[in-house]
Amino acid sequence: MNTQSPVTTDFLGMVLKMQPNIIVSDEQLFDFCQVNRDFRIERNHQGELLIMPPTGAETDERNFNLTGQLWIWTKQDGTGV
């Protein structure tokens, strides 16, 4: 019996395939997300539920760099707020 946790530091996400047996309505998906607020849950065009890991330092750095570039551009261009 394997007792290891399914969550690791290199976790890329989880896909729950529901089709064709279970169809989740928009209201049911909303309720599911409300009960599981600690998870980032999406549904793709195939009806699969995608549970994404929280972002980390690499994503934070990319967002910071993008924000910095936008700030510089708006200051140079003068048309942004």
CB 24 within 8 A of CB 32: yes
pLDDT score recorded for residue 4: 44
pLDDT score recorded for residue 7: 41
pLDDT score recorded for residue 3: 44
pLDDT digits (tens, 9 = 90+) for 22-59: 778 889 989 988 998 888 888 888 888 888 877 778 88
CB 39 within 8 A of CB 32: no
pLDDT score recorded for residue 12: 66
Contacts of 4 (CB under 8 A, 6+ apart): none
Query: Partners of 49 in the beta sheet?
Result: 16, 43
Domain ranges of the chain: 14-77
Nearest alpha carbon to residue 54 among 4, 5, 13, 17 = 13
pTM value > 0.85: no
